[in-house]
Homo-oligomer: A and B are copies of this chain.
Amino acid sequence: MSNLDFSGMFSEDTRNFFRSPVRDIFKRVDLNKIYSFAGGYPSADTFPLDTFGDIMQRVLEREGAAAFQYGATQGVTKLREAISKRYGVPVANVQITSSSQQGIDVCTRVLVDPGDVILAFNPTYLGALQSFRSYRADVVGVAAKSDIDDFEKEWRKTIEKCLSDGKKIKFLYAVADFQNPSGETLTLGQRKVLVKLAAEYGFIIIEDAPYRELRYEGSDIPTLYSLDPEHVAHLGSFSKIMAPGFRLGWIIANEQILDRIYVCKQALDLCPPVFDQYVAEEFLSSGALDANLKKSVELYRSKRDLMLRTLEEVMPGKVRWTHPDGGLFLFLTLPEGFDAVKFYDKALDAGVAYVAGQFFHTDGVSGKNTMRLNFSFMSHSRIVEGIKLLGKLLDEVL
């Protein structure tokens, strides 16, 4: 270890960095030795290894050296075209990112100065909060009201408050489909309110949609982007429809935003991984993606159903949880006074991991009595065993 103290050398931004408690869990324990409801990991069963191998061979033969050379900053043209076709948007509006986390980060970088307001649902995705806070944004959270008038009223009140405080609202961040961590989905009415407010008050919406294609019941609801392509930047991800190890995502947005992102990305990392982009393109265009997605949806639906059934069986009466129509998570609410952060060490000692809901709240302290449970990662039998164990532990303290 160094004898020198560099602590005075770091940028102001670093003072606002905060560590992911999820990633810190992974440093502490071996995921395979505990019941882990903590991560947002897809099931390894959804990675079609043979297909990946075949596709890699095809890309090697077809693209040759071009797959290993520097690529365009916007991403490989073929992949941008495939995404353009799949989602019905112009190629010029598609930028490939080195992970959808980078999509969140680069949007924040080009839009937000310290003190600017980012509006977010409470609770919201932890990785987004990490990025927002690292740029010293003023993240203002709003809990979604189920009544549509209350929903609009609450947002309007929050926006007016920010403006009367002299603050500049840059964007609203929303996971419209199967929100991380709550598992909840915005209704069409709620989406229309959001785009109306964005146009009225002149802010942008960052629609983060990594789970959108993992729907287990009900019908697709139009994306925020489709309701207002001018005000919405839509972030897609290959992590849940292909595999996270490729670290590939995309941004669909208007050209003014994409132009800044393009120049920013030159300095960030020049371009996304090139071979991986060709593999993603072939996976998508060959139909392998849709075939695999269909299987993933069936698998995850059965896991969700099993978890819901098991919760019903074993959880103490005072515990409530969400019923997600898709995605990877559901959200538990325990009686007032329960502290999921404090309870965490006890749970981990007993061999079960979750993420305390508090970490997903914009103020970092609300939601003490909540926890996020993932149902995609573990096998069916381990889901049952893990939920039973968690139920037993909760029963002892409630």
Q: Which residues of A contact B (CB under 8 A)?
A: 1-7, 9-14, 17-20, 23, 26, 39, 41-42, 44-45, 47, 49, 52-53, 56-57, 60, 64-73, 98-99, 101-102, 105, 109-113, 116, 127, 130-131, 134, 170, 203-204, 230-231, 239, 243-247, 254-257, 260, 263-264, 266-276
Contacts and interface: CB of A to CB of B under 8 A. Distances in A.
Contacts of A26: 72
A273 B276 contact: yes
B41 A68 contact: no
11 contacts: A2-B254, A39-B70, A68-B245, A69-B243, A70-B245, A71-B245, A99-B269, A105-B267, A130-B267, A131-B267, A134-B264
The copy count of this chain in the complex is 2
A268 B12 contact: no
**Main SS class of interface, A:** helix
Contact of A9 (B2, B69, B170, B269): B170
Contact of A273 (B5, B71, B246, B268): B246
Given A13-B109, A19-B263, A101-B268, 11 more contacts: A2-B255, A4-B231, A11-B109, A14-B110, A45-B65, A53-B57, A127-B267, A130-B267, A244-B274, A246-B273, A247-B271
A102 B273 CA distance: 12
A5 to B, nearest CB: 8
Nearest to A18: B263
User: Shortest 4 CB-CB distances between A and B: which pairs?
Assistant: A245-B274, A44-B65, A68-B243, A68-B245
Most chain B C-beta atoms within 10 Å of own C-beta, residue among A10, A64, A231 = A10
Contacts of A105: 267-269
B270 A7 contact: no
Contacts of A130: 266-267
Contacts of A116: 11
Contacts of A273: 98, 245-247, 273, 276
A3 B254 CA distance: 10
Nearest to A6: B256
A12 B112 CA distance: 8
Contacts of A1: 255
A318 to B, nearest CB: 34
